[in-house]
Structure 1
Amino acid sequence: MAAPEETTARPLEHDSAAALPFETHDTGALYVTGEHIAVAGERSLATGPLGSTILRVATPAVASMLLMTVFASVDAFWVGTRIGSAGLAAVTAAVFWIWLIVSIAEMVSVGLTAVAARRRGEGRPAEAARVAGDALALTLALGAAVAVLGLAILPRLFALMGTPPDVTLLGARYLGTYLIGAPLIFGFFVVDAAFRAAGDTRTPFLLLSTSVVATLVLDPVLILGLLGAPTLGIRGAAIATLATRGIVFVIGLVLLRRRAMIRFGAPRAHAMKSILRVGLPTATTGVAFALIYVVITRIATPFGTPALAA
């Protein structure tokens, strides 16, 4: 009778970003049992009722998208009611260029979400954290480059839309201030993506909620010069946006560090290429979408400032 073959452990060969069955352990270690990979302290996304899991992940994500809409409307409300139609038209025109800037930021955040989630699915949370660090270095560099280039061609951006002189002046103040803080905006997108890659949509929602509430308070203070603050007008609206995004960016970064979800080291070209390869199609679509609205603005400009503001 032949002796039974001795079984030897083999490395897992998963090569996809698909979720694997997780179990929660409280020892702070990584467990591999058969085909199950368990990362300590993480809630499972692959076990339990499907409906409740979808709701748990999707509800904060949907709420975050709604908050982004509110966030974009806050500046428009205060500028439109306190500065007038020229100010509202300036914000409207600037927002289309901001959409383009955000599309570039999403190139990194979308790529990070995919690559880091895949590393976690492979049972390599430390590598996922390292990729997040690479993504942060990449996005801060991109944010700085966008800021420098955008400020250099700022007058031409509004010339392309043919905006009236008063709208161009206000729009340049608003967009120019926003561009100075572009690295903060880019950084926040990476922080958001790092949490989502781990299946955590609640923390980004709370961070964005904090940012929206803070903007609701800071906008009138900085635009109108309340509570002893200087009266900054339309520039104050942009500063309020940057200040609140910067605050939640730092808070999110601290939380990622405490949870060992981001690690820093020398930037790795291969990791950055993987991120860009995934995120580039999304960025291309977003840039095209923004440019379409730039063209629409050019068409609407001859009808006057009220039409542009609308």
Structure 2
Amino acid sequence: MLNTRDMDMLHGSFWDKLIIFAIPLALTGVLQQLFNAADVAVLGQFVGKNAMAAVGNNISVIGILVNLFMGLSLGANVVIARFIGAKKPEKVGTAVQTSFALAVITGFLLLAVGEILAAPIINWLDVPAEVEAMAETYLRVYLLGLPLIGVYNFEAAILRARGDTRTPLLALAAASVVNLALDLLFVSWGWGVMGVALGTIIAMGVSSFILFWSLTHSQDILRLQFKDFVFDRRMLREIAAIGLPAGIQGMVFSFSNILIQAAVNSLGPDAMAASAAAFAIEVNVYCFLNAFAQATTTFVSQNYGAGNLPRCFAITKVGMLLDIAFTLGMAAVVIVFAREFFAIFNADDTVVELGIVRFWYIVAPQFLQVFIDVLSGALRGYGFSLPPALLALVGICGVRITWLYTLFPAHPDYGTLMACYPVSWLITGIFIGLLYRYCRRHIKLIRV
């Protein structure tokens, strides 16, 4: 039975379908970021910049965990989309059930590991004494919601495999309202950083339950059933083979950001607060960038499963052009209205000026990252997930670590630190572009 929110990715024009698929996905990413942005804004307005810095200090740490979930869920998305394209409904059902089980297991495993490592991580980041206790409190409470975050990401990935990006958006919209209301309520009770973290957990529970209800009551091939539940080890290996490298690639970005966060911390609370507020704004540009990359992955996966390689190649080209256009447009809006955006978080002049410096180094040239994300996404659609992850490890982490231990110590200012972002994007993008050209010549159709 065809769901009314299914999208035919195999026939007809696809540039318009890429946009229809990507925009709700981008808005979903924006709403996900609003969870952290709401935390930062509420604390900045009603508690103080130290509390705001404490949350900002954890963004990169949380990013590592969330990126692992998103990468693994992307593996589920690719595998399910490929089976849909190949018209293998029985394998779709097995993949859906295996993916859900993987989400639950991974969520609780990361929760346990995260709670054990929370204090060492905060110490390793060299958080200033006036922020340290609040930073650890926020991280520990937030970690309790990891199983819910994992389940939501996998549920959303399952729905995206058939072209439904609207249902995850609506679920997260409801959760965002809950999150903001609880943030304000808990802060008014004097709960501070613990309150905003708790509000986030409850809100993520709302969004994951809505998608759970949708999947368990679906009447099509994506229905999640617990009667005769199947956990297929072979299917798990297929999902992990694509999803784990994708997760590692996302974690590499976040790990390098943790190293940069430690350097930001050395510049004091003003730089920390500026980075927290700027990140909460600039990451919305990345949501659009990443949405078109994920759209490319899903469209390529379905058409690869259907055996249409020329259409796969055309989708990658058009996805790249659309992504660059949307990223440049979003970047222009952020740069032009930079001060107005910052006023939402904190009006301190020093914080605002440092944040604007960050925008020029990160938001303005962020279109360079399109080449990394879209080409990596296309390669994952064909099953080549490990090579771009390895290149990201070398290009992103290698360049940024080298920068942090050479140029930054020689010129320890905020601008020098931020310049490592565009340089690493440029170098990594060139290498992944060469990898894509090589892999494209060696892509062969497979039987699924």
Indicate which of 72, 77, 83 corresponds to 1:119: 83
Residue by residue, what CA displacement relative to the aligned partner does 1:220-261 show, whole Å, maximum 9, x if unpaired?
011222xxxxx3211111111111111110111111111142
The equivalent of 1:31 in structure 2 is none
Q: Is 1:56 matched up with 2:20?
A: yes
Residue by residue, what CA displacement relative to the aligned partner does 1:188-209 show, whole Å, maximum 9, x if unpaired?
0011101101111111111121
Question: How far apart, in 2, do the equivalents of 1:305 and 1:282 lie?
Answer: 33
The equivalent of 1:211 in structure 2 is 175
2:63, 2:251 within 8 Å by CA — same for their partners in 1? yes
1:76, 1:91 within 8 Å by CA — same for their partners in 2? yes
Distance 1:166 1:126, change over 3 A: farther
1:211, 1:244 within 8 Å by CA — same for their partners in 2? yes
Q: How far is 1:49 from its partner? A: 4.6
Residues 64-83 of structure 1: pairs in structure 2 closer than 5 A: 64-83=28-47
* Structure 2: 5+ residue stretches without partners: 275-448
Residue by residue, what CA displacement relative to the aligned partner does 1:13-61 show, whole Å, maximum 9, x if unpaired?
xxxxxxxxxxxxxxx4xxxxxxxxxx57645333455444333322212
The equivalent of 2:210 in structure 1 is 251
* Structure 1: 5+ residue stretches without partners: 1-27, 29-38, 226-230
TM-score by length of 2: 0.57
Question: How far apart, in 2, do the equivalents of 1:125 and 1:258 lie?
Answer: 17
Higher helix share: 2
Residues 162-241 of structure 1: pairs in structure 2 closer than 5 A: 162-225=126-189, 231-241=190-200
1:89, 1:309 within 8 Å by CA — same for their partners in 2? yes
Indicate which of 33, 50, 71 corresponds to 1:86: 50
The equivalent of 1:14 in structure 2 is none
Bigger radius of gyration, 1 or 2?
Answer: 1
Residue by residue, what CA displacement relative to the aligned partner does 1:134-165 show, whole Å, maximum 9, x if unpaired?
11111211111111111111111011110022
Distance 1:116 1:155, change over 3 A: same
Residue by residue, what CA displacement relative to the aligned partner does 1:79-127 show, whole Å, maximum 9, x if unpaired?
1222212111110111111000101111321001000111111212342
Aligned AA for 2:131?
V
Question: How far apart, in 1, do the equivalents of 2:195 and 2:180 lie?
Answer: 12
Aligned AA for 1:132?
V
SS of the residue corresponding to residue 208 of structure 1 reads helix
Distance 1:304 1:43, change over 3 A: closer
Residues 89-100 of structure 1: pairs in structure 2 closer than 5 A: 89-100=53-64
1:222, 1:233 within 8 Å by CA — same for their partners in 2? yes
Could you say what the CA RMSD is over the residues aligned between the two structures, in angstroms?
Answer: 1.8
Indicate which of 245, 248, 268 corresponds to 1:304: 268
The equivalent of 1:263 in structure 2 is 225
The equivalent of 2:253 in structure 1 is 289
1:130, 1:263 within 8 Å by CA — same for their partners in 2? no
Question: How far apart, in 2, do the equivalents of 1:290 and 1:210 lie?
Answer: 27
Q: How far is 1:178 from its partner? A: 0.9
Aligned AA for 2:270?
P
Identity %: 25
Indicate which of 48, 53, 65 corresponds to 1:101: 65
SS of the residue corresponding to residue 46 of structure 1 reads coil
SS of the residue corresponding to residue 162 of structure 1 reads coil
Aligned AA for 1:156?
P
2:77, 2:161 within 8 Å by CA — same for their partners in 1? yes
Question: How far apart, in 2, do the equivalents of 1:77 and 1:214 lie?
Answer: 16
Question: How far apart, in 2, do the equivalents of 1:297 and 1:303 lie?
Answer: 10
Distance 1:283 1:92, change over 3 A: same
Distance 1:51 1:266, change over 3 A: closer
SS of the residue corresponding to residue 263 of structure 1 reads coil
SS of the residue corresponding to residue 266 of structure 2 reads helix
2:53, 2:131 within 8 Å by CA — same for their partners in 1? yes
SS of the residue corresponding to residue 303 of structure 1 reads coil
TM-score by length of 1: 0.81
Question: How far apart, in 2, do the equivalents of 1:56 and 1:125 lie?
Answer: 25
Moved more, 44-53 or 251-260: 44-53
